[in-house]
Amino acid sequence: MRRRLGFGFWAAVAWIGVVLLAALLADLLPFPRYDETLAGPPRSGPSGAHPLGTDGLGRDMLSRIVYGARVSLGVGIGAVLLGLGIGAPLGILAGYRRRATDAVIMAVNDVAQAFPALVFALAVVAFAGANLRNVLIVLGVLGVPSWTRLIRGATLTYAEREFVLAARVLGTRDRRILWREIVPNVAVPAASYAFIGMAVIVVAEGSLAFLGLSVQAPTPTWGGMINEGRTLMETAPHVVLAPSLVMFLTVLSFNLVGDRLRSLTDVRESGLEPVRQAAPAPVDVDPPHPVRDCLLQVEDLRTHFVTPRGVVKAVDGVSFTLERGKTLAIVGESGSGKSMLIRSILGLLPGNSVRSGNVYLTGDDLTTFGPAEMRSVLGPRLGTVFQDPMTALNPVRTIGTQVTEPLRVHLGMGRRQARSEAVRLLASVGIPDPERMLRRYPHQLSGGMRQRVTIAMALSCGPDVLFADEPTTALDVTIQDQVLRLLHRLREERDMAVVLVSHDLSVVARWADEVIVMYAGKVVERGPAGEVFARARMPYTEALLQAAPRLTDPVHHRLRVIPGRPPDLTDLPTGCAFQPRCPYAQDRCTIESPPLIQDGHHYACWHPRNPTTKNTATKADPVTPNPNNRPDEKNHVAPNPNTRPTEDSDHPSHTDSHQDKESRLPPDPNSSLAEDGHLPSRMDSRPDEASHPTPDPNNHPTEDAHITPNTNTRPAEDDHHPSRMDSRPDEASHPTPDPNNHPTEDAHITPNTDSSPAEVGHLPSDTNSRPGEKSHLTPDPNNRQTEAVEEVESGGR
């Protein structure tokens, strides 16, 4: 807190404190009374006895300033409190009640604000008498309309928030909602503006005093002192300067405190600036990598942010190449660095970032480009489309101006030529009646149309690469389909490359040729989209695929849950960044960070999933196949492979389709299937455990409320699927432990072994299905295509 507020803030607070304290304790301070004339020689400058000198009547200036502070601060603070005291309840009422209450209060408020305030103040003080009370009341009341407006605005922003709605849904009474939910939130901005208000009032009081309309002599006021000293400016300037300086510092301090407090409550975004390169790149050394003959090549790109909490490694050593006519998808969850990767490539990064690595566009290293060169590349060669088309378009300029601008700037077209080109562009992105569209403003268009416009703008200069950062996330699903189709068509027509950033795996699987999976700033898997989705090697990719719901999944299908949360980018775990959440992590994963290696496609994992049949035998990990052998106390849960029979009985139609798939299953139970081209993946089948259908003796409920292991083992399983007993005798005869079949070591990744009630209903032997205690943190590794498991098993028995 202290650091964020800064030195100036604390200096200002100290000044206000000193002035306030002096004013309060004035009577106790060892100097002459303010009205004691000839306490020293008149008009004398600062001296030991009179630190600020004396005025025309020989009164001590310091004493007068300190007593004057009583008036200035008293009026300043008092008037603000008075204004707030009346304005805040009115504003809160107007903002919370809305409708008629709001209309009446704000109408009166508008009338009051139209009143000439200073004239009013002068008139009242002149008639009612110039004393402290009247000045305070007048200035306080004059502030009421502003306070009402301000508090109403603050209330409005919070009254719309869902937590207020939630409180009403709970049945909270209005009064309590106001006090508990709204007032604490409004108080902070109100307090910050109160300080600024005090500064305004101190100035106003000074002005009134200068005009002789504040507290009357002999009580000193700062404004009055300045007025009195006017005549002595030539001979004794300190008589004017001292109170002026004190007033100036006080007003400045109030403003500073208010402003700093306000900036605490405001959310400001950092702007994007040209990047800083990391420390001067090693000169003259040839790059350690060959510059390939391709459209876009990114080599070991790193972007780190220096923050007070530490260095954030947003992008940490990313390399890839991209050819014309291809779509590269970058997937990952929020914070994985996927958007930052794009910004790093484009060189559009916040000021506190440091970039290293190389980005080659047809062989030219963009990281060596200066701002001017970069501008000539952004647009003509690299186009960008961002998530929110509303923020990408300038709301006060017409679509026509915005679409023609890059044409005129980059391509040097004339007005008329640019206009006809813009019409052609808008038509090419499927905008009906493009002529009329040119005259419209962004807010007049739907989200889908706006995104089409930004795409048209990105394409206007014929870029080689189009970067689309979550281009359809803000759009409806039917519009999303239209926009993605459009991007695909344009890519074909223009023979450009597309870099598509998305969190939506189904979109990526459908539209991308190549895919990069990012986790904690690193590429954890990379390869052709079909292959990566069909045979994910990195456990994170696999988990991500199984966590996404699909239309083809049965109803109430349990999705894979990835325990824990993404790592703190300032404090990454040792070894593999995914290791703390990975069910297959071994000792090595916690020590050594896995490199990106190629085996089919690229992946970074010590214990990859979905091994090919060939290397099953060779890639044995040092894993104990039987969980019962591990003395680890956490390991008292027997993973039961028999868990979720798919919902045959409930949904015959799905059973059919699943059985269809089954019949096309490759014989290796560990290889996943890609028959419909999207996101197939599954956990392995644990045939070893299948041979131990007896309840695990170690299997006792844990203390941990989050993890309730299910202890049932479903002995009735075989009877339940008699038809499959003999389905795969060949596999059944090899119930050898799958080397990759790691028993879970950690309680929080206990495989979910029970099933939803609909499924267990027909299994009377299932005595222990307590779905209510099932953990949400429990991944269900056996959740997809369990038929295969069952077949293997039942055949084995």
Partner 1 sequence: MAGSGSAHLRPPDEVLLRVEDLVVEFPAGRGRTVRAVSGVSFDLARGETLGIVGESGCGKSSAARALVQLPPPRSGSVRLDGLELTALRGESLRRTRRRLQMIFQDPISSLNPRRRVRDIVSEGPRVWSLPGDRVDEVLEAVGLDPATAAERRPHEFSGGQCQRISIARALILDPEVVICDEPVSALDVSVQAQILGLLEDLKDRYRLTLVFIAHDLAVVKNISDRILVMYLGKVCELAPSADLIGRPAHPYTRALIASIPGGGLDLPPADKLISGEPPLPVNPPSGCRFRTRCPRADARCATEEPQIRQIGEDHWLACHNPATLE
User: Residue 695 or 771: which CB sits closer to partner 1?
Assistant: 771
Query: Could you tell me the two tokens for 299?
Result: 């080599």
Do residues 257 and 9 touch, judged by C-beta distance below 8 A?
A: yes
**Region at 521 (left for phi over 0; alpha for psi -120 to 50; beta for the rest):** left
User: Residue 55 or 542: which CB sits closer to partner 1?
Assistant: 542
At its nearest, how many Å lie between partner 1 and the CB of residue 454?
16
User: Residue 202 or 548: which CB sits closer to partner 1?
Assistant: 548
Residue type, 97: R
At its nearest, how many Å lie between partner 1 and the CB of residue 570?
15
Do residues 506 and 678 touch, judged by C-beta distance below 8 A?
A: yes
At its nearest, how many Å lie between partner 1 and the CB of residue 414?
33
How far is the C-alpha of 508 from the C-alpha of 679, rounded, in Å?
Answer: 10
At its nearest, how many Å lie between partner 1 and the CB of residue 614?
29
How far is the C-alpha of 617 from the C-alpha of 494, rounded, in Å?
Answer: 48
Helix ranges (H only) for 230-286 are 238-265
At its nearest, how many Å lie between partner 1 and the CB of residue 338?
12
Query: Could you tell me the two tokens for 19?
Result: 């002035």
Do residues 525 and 536 touch, judged by C-beta distance below 8 A?
A: yes
User: Residue 300 or 553: which CB sits closer to partner 1?
Assistant: 553
Q: Return the residue matching tokens 């208000």.
A: 197
How far is the C-alpha of 319 from the C-alpha of 543, rounded, in Å?
Answer: 23
At its nearest, how many Å lie between partner 1 and the CB of residue 474?
10
327-331 and 497-502 beta bridge pairing: parallel
User: Residue 353 or 775: which CB sits closer to partner 1?
Assistant: 775
User: Residue 53 or 442: which CB sits closer to partner 1?
Assistant: 442
User: Residue 290 or 772: which CB sits closer to partner 1?
Assistant: 772
At its nearest, how many Å lie between partner 1 and the CB of residue 255?
25
**Region at 6 (left for phi over 0; alpha for psi -120 to 50; beta for the rest):** left
Question: HSE on the CB side for 567, CA within 13 Å?
Answer: 24
At its nearest, how many Å lie between partner 1 and the CB of residue 470?
12
Q: Which of 496, 483, 495, 488 is nearest to 431 (CA)?
A: 483
How far is the C-alpha of 751 from the C-alpha of 710, rounded, in Å?
Answer: 9
Query: Could you tell me the two tokens for 283?
Result: 């000169």
At its nearest, how many Å lie between partner 1 and the CB of residue 421?
25
User: Residue 157 or 612: which CB sits closer to partner 1?
Assistant: 157
User: Residue 199 or 637: which CB sits closer to partner 1?
Assistant: 637
Helix ranges (H only) for 465-523 are 477-494, 505-511
At its nearest, how many Å lie between partner 1 and the CB of residue 213?
42
User: Residue 684 or 780: which CB sits closer to partner 1?
Assistant: 780
At its nearest, how many Å lie between partner 1 and the CB of residue 448?
6
At its nearest, how many Å lie between partner 1 and the CB of residue 771?
4
333: which residues sit within 8 A by CB, 6+ positions away? 503, 519, 544, 566
User: Residue 302 or 488: which CB sits closer to partner 1?
Assistant: 488
User: Residue 171 or 290: which CB sits closer to partner 1?
Assistant: 171
Q: Return the residue matching tokens 């994963």.
A: 589
User: Residue 367 or 783: which CB sits closer to partner 1?
Assistant: 783
Do residues 760 and 754 touch, judged by C-beta distance below 8 A?
A: yes
723: which residues sit within 8 A by CB, 6+ positions away? none
Cα three-residue angle 615-617-620, rounded to 5 degrees: 100
User: Residue 158 or 210: which CB sits closer to partner 1?
Assistant: 158
Query: Could you tell me the two tokens for 137?
Result: 């009341």
Compute the CA torsion angle 278, 282, 283, 289 (nearest 10 deg).
Answer: -100
At its nearest, how many Å lie between partner 1 and the CB of residue 32?
49
Q: Return the residue matching tokens 């803000």.
A: 474
User: Residue 686 or 774: which CB sits closer to partner 1?
Assistant: 774
At its nearest, how many Å lie between partner 1 and the CB of residue 301?
23
At its nearest, how many Å lie between partner 1 and the CB of residue 565?
6
Please report, in angstroms and rounded to a whole number, the separation of the first and last CA atoms in the chain. Answer: 66
At its nearest, how many Å lie between partner 1 and the CB of residue 387?
13
User: Residue 354 or 479: which CB sits closer to partner 1?
Assistant: 479
Enclosing H/E stretch for 276: strand 276-277
How far is the C-alpha of 612 from the C-alpha of 623, rounded, in Å?
Answer: 18
Strand partners, 528: 514
Q: Which of 468, 491, 383, 399 is nearest to 436 (CA)?
A: 399
Strand partners, 525: 517, 603
Q: Report in angstroms the alpha-carbon separations of 646 from 760, 772, 790, 795.
A: 11, 20, 10, 18
Helix (H, G, I), strand (E, B) or coil at 723: helix
296-307 and 353-361 beta bridge pairing: antiparallel
